[in-house]
Chains A and B, each alone.
Chain A
């Protein structure tokens, strides 16, 4: 499956390949080392800004450390994803209350990291990221997650299905509708220009 990925340099679940699939107690350090980076990608797909990824990731693994002893089963990824979903939801709620006091979003264009070479390209990339965030924010959670994981993070449909614990056909349906919605929003933007 790894050879089918267009972004082979991004190691998704490979790190977790050597984790035991038995019901023996899992070692937190190994789980952390294997799943921390994928977890941050999920959080990004769930709408957490890059500036908050570390903090929210830490919260996720605080919960994981507390609950790992009670984990029974062989599908660790969906279990971790559910924890990440709830933590992201809590974070969004807290951020909403925080915005009531600060009267603004914590997302700052200047804090967004960029891999652009020159200033003009960096500016263009930041503007594109701003538009992308705006469009993604208008999509439903399910569509946004499927779209982000597939289009941005480079997950395959099967991997997303495994992660979300849904049939693959459901993932393709969500992706189809998400892309349609995304293109519609882009078309609106094009008309406005």
Chain B
């Protein structure tokens, strides 16, 4: 095959141009100076410290570790920020719910004339009474005996209902029990009115001494009076321990009886 660079005078202009282009680059000539220069560089490179590779590897490892640590730190900061945002959002939500509940409860629970501060020294029961978790629809107070067919009965509590009452009467009774307890919890926890809470709980205990939430009502009454009215608190504690010696809030009752 004839080389292109030997066809510079070809009749075909494309071949001639290709030959011109190829001829523009001469074959690489031998260069002794260049060869010696590179040889000298190779010698210098050989005399380089042997630990250079290890040093480079260590530097790379350090770099990788630094990047990983920085990434982890950034992730942690982002997580903290996210948690703060979530917390703020939950607080806003709680505040909103509290306001909403207060507005909804306004016609039912009239505020007490004197809102005494509630110096609750003992820790509050951790679990709220069962009926409070599902508040009944707030309506005007219904007499216990009066039949109220239009009011839907509240969901049955976990404990067995009183067996003697007729269904409608039993529903009214549960509704009244829930209303009293709800109002008491609201007064104690949200409105910080232990006096009114105590009053409502006493009413509950008078009406339903064997009610489904009698134990919780006693504990709440104890909480409402403890630190505010020691004799009454002792009375509630004694009542509680007499009825529920190993009840859920017996520790609180014992504490109230301590001098």
**Residues of chain A whose beta carbon lies under 8 Å from any beta carbon of chain B:** 6-7, 10-11, 32-33, 36-37, 40-41, 44, 53-54, 57-58, 61-62, 65, 115, 125, 128-129, 131-132, 135, 150-154, 157, 172, 175-176, 179, 182-183, 186-187, 189-190
Q: A58-B38, A132-B21, A183-B14 are in contact. Are A152 and B27 (CB under 8 A)?
A: yes
- Which secondary structure dominates chain B's binding surface? helix
Name the A residues within 8 Å of B14 (CB-CB): 183, 186-187, 190
* Closest B residue, CB atoms, query A191: B14
Q: Within the complex, what minimum Cβ distance (angstroms) separates B28 from chain A? A: 5
* Closest A residue, CB atoms, query B28: A41
Q: Within the complex, what minimum Cβ distance (angstroms) separates A160 from chain B? A: 12
Q: A36-B35, A41-B28, A183-B14 are in contact. Are A152 and B41 (CB under 8 A)?
A: no
Q: Is the CB of B1 within 8 A of A175?
A: yes
Q: A54-B34, A152-B27 are in contact. Are A131 and B21 (CB under 8 A)?
A: yes
Interface size class of B (residues with CB under 8 A): 20 to 34
Name the B residues within 8 Å of A129 (CB-CB): 24-25
B98 part of interface (Cβ distance < 8 Å):
no
* Closest B residue, CB atoms, query A189: B17
**Residues of chain B whose beta carbon lies under 8 Å from any beta carbon of chain A:** 1, 3-6, 13-15, 17-18, 20-31, 34-35, 37-39, 41-42, 45-46
Name the B residues within 8 Å of A54 (CB-CB): 34, 37-38
- Which secondary structure dominates chain A's binding surface? helix
Q: Told that A129-B25, A151-B22, A186-B14 touch, could you supply 11 new A-B pairs with CB distance under 8 A? A: A7-B27, A10-B27, A11-B30, A32-B42, A37-B28, A41-B27, A44-B28, A58-B45, A131-B21, A152-B27, A183-B14
Q: A151-B5, A183-B14, A183-B15 are in contact. Are A58 and B24 (CB under 8 A)?
A: no
Q: Is the CB of A186 within 8 A of B17?
A: yes
* Of B5, B21, B23, B27, most A-chain CB atoms within 10 Å: B21
Distance between Cα atoms of A132 and B25 in the complex (Å): 8
Name the B residues within 8 Å of A128 (CB-CB): 20-21, 23-24
Distance between Cα atoms of A153 and B30 in the complex (Å): 12
Q: Within the complex, what minimum Cβ distance (angstroms) separates B58 from chain A? A: 21
A-B contact pairs, 15 of them (CB 8 A): A36-B35, A37-B28, A44-B28, A57-B38, A58-B38, A58-B41, A58-B42, A62-B42, A62-B45, A132-B24, A176-B1, A183-B14, A183-B15, A187-B14, A190-B17
* Closest B residue, CB atoms, query A57: B38
* Closest B residue, CB atoms, query A44: B28
Q: Is the CB of B38 within 8 A of A157?
A: no
Distance between Cα atoms of A61 and B46 in the complex (Å): 12
Q: Within the complex, what minimum Cβ distance (angstroms) separates A56 from chain B? A: 10
Name the B residues within 8 Å of A176 (CB-CB): 1
Q: Select B35's contact among A7, A37, A132, beta carbons within 8 Å.
A: A37
Distance between Cα atoms of A154 and B4 in the complex (Å): 11
Name the B residues within 8 Å of A157 (CB-CB): 1
Q: A6-B6, A36-B35, A58-B41 are in contact. Are A186 and B21 (CB under 8 A)?
A: yes
Distance between Cα atoms of A40 and B18 in the complex (Å): 24
Among all A-B residue pairs, the 8 with the closest Cβ atoms: A128-B24, A186-B18, A37-B30, A132-B21, A10-B27, A187-B14, A41-B28, A125-B24
